[in-house]
Structure 1
């Protein structure tokens, strides 16, 4: 389990662990929801004492650049602390995971205040000021969202300004083949470099295959193939991690999924679970205009 969660986070974690569907698993996405992930200095990113080496960022990834992925977005706190990713799909619309934009409440979850979120686009190295930082005009979270393991882990941020950058292409109706087992996919982000390691100051990407629903269901009894898709390696070693939540899963140039949850990071038999965006395509069209 990751260290240092807040008291509210600990209470939510207890409630989630008591859930019949969640059982005893500890979720990466829960940590990303509860604990903002501060991008450290270059020394902290590469330090073996932090359980991380240069080759292991995003857990097994390689360097990536916003020059090649200009639509890649980082979600930060007002102080600039990274906690999630997203994809710019229209000049003022970012698609991300619902769990990145909610907080625990007595009723279950509540949507964060728009003043609590900043969106950065076009910044490969989060220690710099390159690219554009935008505020938030409004936040839409799927109305049925209650927990990432229940599905509906999708949200749309409307920015307070239009960003002049190429946008990502969302999966379209008729693109079911993109979810076929073995299909090559890519995910990316600035998240933790290992399960207990530091975040990466620079963008990283990881190529990984789509996984059959039956294989994913064997790893996760709560897996819902109507709302989720798995990608990764059953032998472990390469995976998205906390801080990558909400970031895109890309197949053939289309965003087909969002980093959602999993059991630890890069563990054997525990591939990453992603929001299956095709399931929400009509809703996303209404929210984004694309």
Structure 2
């Protein structure tokens, strides 16, 4: 099995960061001119999406302004993303871009990052803990996604229709998307996902996708949100190809990390 993270090769701080492109159900130049975006994927089998419906969907850029991952607003001062995205670029070079559907425009906000929290158990996406929280310099003008509570366990039930969002590739090995895209994918049972991936951990991961494939997240979508309504249930993590039959996308199970995300995302107070 060729498991890939959902983000491209990046040139960060002069060092080549070799990170494979993870195939996961998710929405959403030339290689010589833009080495980061050349291997960037977008959602396979999806459609153009609107930030008016999903204002919490954001993307991350490196020091050169290249989009390399997705993320999701979880408070007025923080976003959640994949740990492998947070580790890919140094804190001082990460920028969070909010309110920009079309990456070619100057719409929305571009905020630097003041703090990076990565789950202490993380070592590799296939071993779980693929979650991070980035605290930004400033505040977002856009509403956050909702985090799942105790009453939301049903959202992880087999067959639940979820939406994955991103600016990654629209095909395995294809071109990147300039626009935010989305795709509808059903949650897959733990037993089925375990048969598809021997590394699957039902405590820290959740799968979504169609048995026949065709709709999935792709390179460049890592760190982006999987939502049911406006409730964040997953973060794009890894997969085998993009939209491959019998290989659904694997997401970080957000319900397992809610307490940590809430603690890290708590808006800063300037005065005691």
Identify the TM-score tier after normalising by the shorter chain.
0.7 to 0.9
The structural deviation recorded for 1:170 is 1.2
Instruction: Tell me which of 210, 217, 222 is aligned to 1:240.
Output: 217
SS in 2 for 1:175: helix
- Does 1 or 2 have the higher relative contact order (CA < 8 Å, sep 6+)? 2
What SS does the aligned partner of 2:150 have? Answer: coil
Q: How big is each residue's C-alpha offset from its partner over 1:53-100, in whole Å with a ceiling of 9 and x where there is no partner?
A: xxx961100110112211111011122111110111111100011010
Q: Matches of 2:191 and 2:20 in 1, distance apart?
A: 33
* SS of residue matched to 1:167: coil
Q: Does 1:117 align with 2:102?
A: no
Q: 2:168 aligns with which of 191, 196, 205?
A: 191
Alpha-carbon separation, structure 2, partners of 1:34 and 1:173 = 38
Match of 2:18 in 1: 34
Structure 2 SS opposite 1:233: coil
SS of structure 2 residue aligned to 1:115 = helix
C-alpha contact (below 8 Å) 1:36/1:83 kept by paired residues: no
Distance 2:121 2:192 in 1: 26
Residue 46 of structure 2 is matched in structure 1 by 61
Equivalent position of 1:215 in the other structure: 192
Which residue of structure 1 aligns with residue 159 of structure 2?
182
Counterpart in the other structure of 1:255 = 232
TM-score (norm 2): 0.85
Question: Once the 2 structures are TM-superposed, how far is the Cα of residue 26 of structure 1 from its aligned partner?
Answer: 3.0
Question: Which one of the candidate residues 71, 77, 89 is aligned to 2:74?
Answer: 89
* DSSP-derived class of the 1:174 partner: helix
**Which residue is 1:127 aligned to?**
104
2: CA distance, partners of 1:192 / 1:206 = 13
1:217 aligned counterpart, secondary structure = helix
Distance 1:174 1:279 in 2: 14
- Structure 1: distance between partners of 2:185 and 2:48: 15
Equivalenced residue count is 245
1:192 and 1:34 mapped to 2: Cα distance? Answer: 18
Conservation of the 8 A alpha-carbon contact between 1:73 and 1:88: yes
Stretches of 4+ aligned residues off by more than 6 angstroms: none
- Partners of 2:190 and 2:70 in 1: CA distance: 25
**What are structure 1's unaligned runs of at least 5 residues?**
1-23, 42-49, 51-55, 104-111
1:76 paired residue number: 61
Give the number of the structure whose residues are more often helix, by fraction.
1
Moved more, 57-66 or 260-269: 57-66
Work out whether residues 36 and 82 of structure 1, in 8 Å CA contact, stay in contact via their aligned partners in 2. no
Counterpart among 230, 241, 262 of residue 207 in structure 2: 230
